[in-house]
Amino acid sequence: MGNLAELKKIYPEKFATEDKIFDNIHPGDRIFIGTGCGEPQHLVRALINYVQSHPKAFFDAEVLQVWTLGVAPYADEKFKDTFRHNSFFIGNNTRAAVNKGVADYTPIFLSAVPNLFYTRRIPVDVALIQTSLPDDHGYMSLGISVDIVKAAVESASLVIAQVNSYMPRVHGETFINIKNVDFIVPYDEPLLEFQASVPDDIAQRIGTYVSRIIQDGDTIQVGYGTIPNAILSHLNNKKNLGIHTELLTDGVIERGCR
């Protein structure tokens, strides 16, 4: 792995203080935040701390994100003049804000989001991401969260990366080079983890009823959550089921859908 101390000597301008980094965010900017378990928790906390200590630094910023497993303070009503959250998926941590009308939801297929960034129908001004340690050639992996993050990085005017030794180096189209990152914030912390919920009695009854209308050879689409998990748990006696989905959950893999 690359030595951050050596890279700091080569690219000293990329290792600024957090205040100096966030000084580059402007009123009205669209700020993308990495997805799910790959969310850069430290950068989110640092951004909120910056806003609280510099209340007039910027306003009317739009926060773009697919799904957050962490705390989503930018969706809190007290920050309504600073941030407007726009989610491509409604999760538990943002549902209340969307329901109250203080955050937005853009319904769209996940696979369609990158093109919105590349064509700048939704421009990304700032991308807050999390990566693995760089290798000897300065390449860092987006690790466990690539999805639309790579498109956001390649489209953003300003890229801020939290480099975390806990983030694994994953092969494939996951790599970005330090030359294409504007600021590096080294900060180690455990990654967020998704914990599957256990279906309750109501969900199990729903799963029983739905399983009765699914026939052998059917093709199904399954989301994630308590009810989809309950439905899948009642499909053990089905044969030759197909799956057409953007999302593969543990339940799909366990049931052997194809």
Structure tokens at 15: 């290792």
The Cα-based distances of 180 to 1, 127, 161, 212 in angstroms read: 18, 12, 10, 52
Residue closest to 32 by CA, chosen among 138, 150, 143: 150
Which one-letter DSSP state was computed for residue 44?
A: H
Residue closest to 234 by CA, chosen among 222, 246, 245: 222
Alpha carbon distance 147, 66 (integer Å): 9
Identity of the amino acid at 11? Y
Report the Cα 13 to chain-centroid distance in Å: 27
The Cα-based distances of 211 to 162, 215, 256 in angstroms read: 44, 8, 16
Given the residues 18, 154, 189, 246, the one annotated as active site: 246
Alpha carbon distance 98, 198 (integer Å): 25
Active site residue 246: yes
Kindly report the backbone phi and psi dihedral angles of residue 221, in degrees, each rounded to the nearest multiple of 5, phi listed first: -120, 130
Alpha carbon distance 176, 164 (integer Å): 14
Task: Name the residues annotated as catalytic.
Answer: 246
